[in-house]
Structures are given as structure tokens and as C-alpha cells.
Structure 1
Amino acid sequence: MSTPTAMPPACTFEHCVSWALEPAERQEAWREIAHRWVDFQPAPEVALRAELTILSHGGCMLGATRSSAYEMRTGSRRAQRDDMVVLTLLQAGVLRSRTFACNGPGSLSLCAPREAGIYHWGQDARQVFLVLPREEVRAALGHEPATRLLTARCALAPSLCSQMGHAALLLRQGLLDAAEGAQLLEATRALALLLLRHLGRQGQGDGLPDAHESLRAGRHAAALRFMEQHAHRPELDVAAIARGAGCSRTRLYEAFAARGQTVMGALRDMRLQRAQGLLAQGLRLNVGALAWRCGFADASGFSKLFRARFGLSPTEWHARAHALALP
């Protein structure tokens, strides 16, 4: 007789919109709804318009939000708890901070609210976030968590970005029941902790990383930076990336193979993540122009790769992403 599979505990579901609040009370009320542990200040020249959808259970929370421009400060006197860490995927708009400089759609970051920081979210920013207990994150990393950008640091980052992107769609559709919500939250949490454990192990081994590993890591990071700057060029190839990273093609292949990646596979995934972010950000859709803008010379091939990666065609993803756009 088989034992039934244990189901994750049910989650609570919340959906809030700022335009349901009285204009005179909107800012302070939204501060209590969405920014209880940080200082929050909407851009003075823009009326606050925001939407927040959250699944939560225990110390974990999965949410999707979109908002007009605002500033957020962490590590201030207002913060009354330091027992959480936030993983954030920016889906649309721009995020500027002293830590991250300027990041656009597709960037994945880890934020420790106990650290002092200033973050400027651009107009119509859209993000999905995962809140985890700090002790859980510390155990996964093997050290205290610190605010950092994760997009180009770990081979599992694209998988977590994809999972969080799909989660945001499901949250915004609002069609999950309590059990499905619990499964979604647990699956996202498990993948995030796997990424953090992998990140914590990188370069550690049984002691300090050796010279070869350090060189591979440097080449990998340099190649990713070059690829991010030139991903829009359809003709970009391994030879050009190797020159941009300052190494031979053989050394470049080794640097990516050490992380279970291929060079062109990483470039393709970077381009698809960029296309996904632009689809969420733009109101109009021209698949051919989008493909070219993201470095794909063939629109049909781009559409096939996008569906294989995200489970939807670019047209379907665009329609779903904007089905519940801000009024």
C-alpha cells in the first residue's frame, strides 16, 4: 500500500491595488500594505498607482507587483525586523541603486533589508519577489547573506528567473486555489535555495579556490559582461566573445563547461530573458522587430526557441503579461 504524498500547507492569498484607496490616504496606506519594513517614498511628480499580489505561508512569501516610480530605503530606523532576505526579479522598468548601478528587465538580485541601501524604481516597474527567512538563506549560502546581483553569478539563475516569471503570471491571473498556491510557493522556494547552495559552493571546495578556478571564473564573468553589452548583435559568435573576454576559444569553452554551460547556450538564454522582459514592458508587439532587437536574425526561429524556453509563444506571453495591466 503506497503512502500518499504529503501536500504543502495551504497559503494565504492577498491582492491589493492603490486606486481602491482614498487619494489623501493612499501613500500612507500603501506604505503599510507593501513597505512596512523599509522607508518608501513615491516620486513627487507622479501619482501613486500600484498593484500587489502575494502568496504567503510562515516565513516565506511570493509576490508580484507593479508600480509607478518610487524610492525605497533599507537599513533605516523604520525597519523593525532583520530576519528576512528578498530575491527580486525585475520584469519591466528600471532599477537604480548604489549597489547595482542600473538594471533592466531580467536582472535577479538578492537584498538583505538590514543593510543600508537606496533603490530607485522607475515608472511602470514590474517585479516578482520571493521572501525567505534569513537563517534559511544563511544556511544555504554558508555565510551571512549580503545584497548582490545574481543574474550572471550562477548557472541556475536562468531557471529561477523562468520559475519566478511563470509564478508572476499565475499570481496576476488569480486563478490558483490554496493548495496550488502552496505548491507554487514551495517549488519556487526549493529552486531558490538550490541556487543559493550552489552559489555558496562556487569556488569553495575543500579550501581556497585554485588559480585555474579563479581564472575560469574571471573569464566566465568577463564573457557574460561582454555578452550583455553585445547580445543584440545577431552575428555575435564564440570567437568575438573570446576576444571580448580576453582569452582563446578553448579557454572560453572551459570556463563555461566548468559551470555546466555552453557559450552559445548562455547567450541564447540571455537573449530570451531580454525578450521576455521587453514583452512584459512594451504595449505593442512586433515579433520580427523584437527578435532582431534581442539578437535573433530569424523571427520564426526566435518564436520556436521562446516557446521551448517559456512554454508560450511571444504573442501568447505578451497577451498574458498585459491581460491585467494597470488601468
Structure 2
Amino acid sequence: MRVLSFTACVLLQLASLSVLHGKVRHGQQLREHHWSKHYPFCGGTFQSPIDIKSELLRFDPALRPIEVQNYNLAPDEQLTLGNNGHSLQISLPPKMYLSSLRHRYTAAQLHFHWGSSSRPAGSEHMVNSRQYAAEMHVVHYNSEKYPNISMAVDKSDGLAVLGVLVEVGDFNPAYEQFLKFINGIKYRVQVPGFNVRALLPTRLDEYYRYDGSLTTPPCYPSVLWTFLALTTALYSSNAQDSVAIPLHSNFRKPKLIDSRVVLVSFKEGKYNLLCFVIEGKGKKKDIALLLTWLKKQLLVVCKSLPQWLWLMWHHLLLAVFYTKNVKYYLCL
């Protein structure tokens, strides 16, 4: 089963990371239900992650495609890969930024959340209650208003995070650029620069957006979340034995919506395929069977024009096959 293969190979590598001393750890020193005792914001409102459900979505035509700048890093640009106590984290250079928001948000780091060998699903956000294998966050701060991420982290407009759901898929060389360095990592190592854009889905124009928080203590409600609608894939075949102190299941459970609205940049069901056979010359039984089938398939939701065209052609071929001769065939 590919999910188990994914977890046993890639996420087992992640789960084998040693935990830094004195840091907050998922499932270790301070469990999630105790966070609010030490970090009041963790028990407050507008917390993340959330379950992104269809009934929460509101289409906003003003949402433009995400524009990432300087995400393709040269190999001679050294990045710091480390274990920060609750995740695998890669530092990012300040030349990387988002240019499609109201302010300029400069990249600071990216990190991952994942499950364990016993529970492969480890994403923090869900989509219609579906949890994915892992989740990547690319963290940016408002560099127009604040000099660094430390000054921005607790401000209402301080952070902007690109969220990406990761599922099982084909080998992705972009991930291999840094995964090959994580075996046995305890603190920090230097890794060559790579194309961070390749870690993201191909399309950056379809996404969800909402106001939320950090998903780890101190849980400041300072994050503008942009969650890409398409997933990215990861697969690796290099498994290593776990070390003494495993870091795994480092994901927070979904939180209450608190009257928030999730904006969406695209309309689901952008193209609706509605097909009718107006008149056909053939056996009445064949036409009746076709009309019964079409009734079940009367409204097909398509997300793209190519899908709409393919389905229209598919329906037409079926109509010709069943009725032998179609005089009028209409798809809307």
C-alpha cells in the first residue's frame, strides 16, 4: 500500500529526528491540551489549523494568483536545515518573498508536519474532513512593517503562510534535495540551495484564504493563511532506523471556526456539463437506456475547460453508439 510505503520511507526519516532539549514538543514534554495553561493564545479564538469545509467557502473574485519571487535558489546558496524541537525546518534567504499581497512578505523558513508509522495521515489542515499524509508551511513575515520575523510574529498582520498538503505520489527530485541530509540530524546542517518553487503545486491561482494562528505555541493569531487547493506529491525509498527519541505526529488537531469565513479564489464547478439527446434514430430500448444513464449523469461538475470538452465528447460518442444516429445532441 503506497501510503504505508510513504510513511515508512519518508516520514520514518522525519520521525527519526532527535528532539532538541528544552523545546515544546508534540506528544512529548507538553501535550496539546496543556498548551493553553502556559500559552494563553492557544486556548483563544481564531486558531489554526481548521477543517476547510465547502459550506465555509465564499468565492472572492478579487483574489489574484499567488506570485512567488526568487524561489529558485542556486546550489551555492547555503541553507540551514535543522530540528527545531517540533519540526524539520529549513531557513530561507530574505530575497524570497510574496508579491501578490497588500504588503511585501519576506520568506523566513519552511517546515513540515507529519504522522507516524502507526498513523500515516499527519496533515494539520483538512479539506472536507480528509486528512493528508503531511503538510508543508512556507512562513513569511511582513517586511514592510517589521524588521524581522521575531518582531512580526505576534502582530495581527505579521505573518503570511503558504500551506501545501502533501500526499503519496511519484518521486519528486525537489524534496530529495534536502531529505537526503536528514538521516540522524540532531541540530543543524548546511544544505545547498534548491528550487523551492518545485515543492509547490503547479497552479498557484486556486487557493483558500483565512485568518488564523501559529499551529504551535505560542499560537499567536497573526497568520494570513493561503492554502493551495492542489496537493503536491512526495515519495522516497530511503528508510533509516529510528533513533532513541522519535519526533512524530507533530500535527495539531483542527480548531473551531469561530465565525470565520474562508475565502476561495476559484469557483468549484466552473463548467457544468448538461447533456440532452433531443432526437435519435435507433431502437427505443437503446434510447431509453441512454436517457436513463444520462439522467444519472445529467449534471457533471468540471473544474476546467479541457475536462468539460472531454466529457462532452465522451457523452457524444456514447450517444452515437447507443442510438446509431443522433440528429440533435446538446451539451451546455
Q: Report the TM-score when normalising by structure 2.
A: 0.21
Bigger proportion of residues as strand: 2
Higher RCO (C-alpha 8 Å, min separation 6): 2
Report the structure number with the largest CA radius of gyration.
Answer: 2
Bigger proportion of residues as helix: 1
